[in-house]
A and B are shown apart, each in its own frame.
Chain A
Amino acid sequence: EPEVTQTPSHQVTQMGQEVILRCVPISNHLYFYWYRQILGQKVEFLVSFYNNEISEKSEIFDDQFSVERPDGSNFTLKIRSTKLEDSAMYFCASTDTGETNEKLFFGSGTQLSVL
């Protein structure tokens, strides 16, 4: 079964540094998402992306965050200047268009630790 791939699986960074989290969505999917999960808490929506632009974003997704689809396969989340509270598991997800577009496929996540 096709799957969403995320790299790296773990990322440790110093506060104030920039990080880029990478995702390869399922190849025929057109909607892309980033969610995050702080340890022991619920999965929170950050942003959705379609047709090379942000379609929805939450209040969490402030100016420190940006997303990009630099080529035909990758989808990235950049955190410009990391804060301690950015430490979380970040999940990428994708879905196709049409009748099954409500089913999100999630990657295994990138555990970001900000020291």
Chain B
Amino acid sequence: QQQVKQSPQSLIVQKGGISIINCAYENTAFDYFPWYQQFPGKGPALLIAIRPDVSEKKEGRFTISFNKSAKQFSLHIMDSQPGDSATYFCAASTASGGSYIPTFGRGTSLIVHP
């Protein structure tokens, strides 16, 4: 019930291409869906997030698409750059005791070739 399933595990894209990472969740109580970006040796950092009242959110080259009925959401990275090479985690959370505790997917290692 608490799982967040993420795919693919790894992704290789050419510079300028589109990177797409998919996630699915089961718990309908989740109401906040962030994506975190993690570079080697660093902690995860919030990249972009969406709430289920909208179907899409765009920030620069990064877009989240959200399908509430299918309980799926995805991250699209347009015009992928070598600097985007990192591990990406989707997550889902709901308020609990005044705070949000994200449940993370397994992560996607993205490599963008120059």
Contacts and interface: CB of A to CB of B under 8 A. Distances in A.
A interacts with B: yes
Interface of A: 4, 31, 33, 41-45, 48, 50, 55-56, 91, 93, 95, 97, 101-109
B100 A101 contact: yes
Interface of B: 32, 34, 36, 41-46, 49, 89, 93, 95-107
Contacts of B98: 31, 50, 55, 97, 101
The binding surface of chain B is classed by DSSP as strand
B104 A42 contact: yes
Contacts of A101: 98-100
A107 B99 CA distance: 18
A43 B89 contact: yes
A48 B100 CA distance: 10
Contact of B99 (A4, A41, A43, A48): A48
15 contacts: A41-B106, A42-B89, A42-B105, A43-B44, A43-B107, A45-B102, A45-B103, A48-B99, A55-B96, A91-B44, A93-B43, A97-B98, A102-B32, A109-B41, A109-B42
Contacts of A91: 43-44
B56 to A, nearest CB: 19
A17 to B, nearest CB: 25
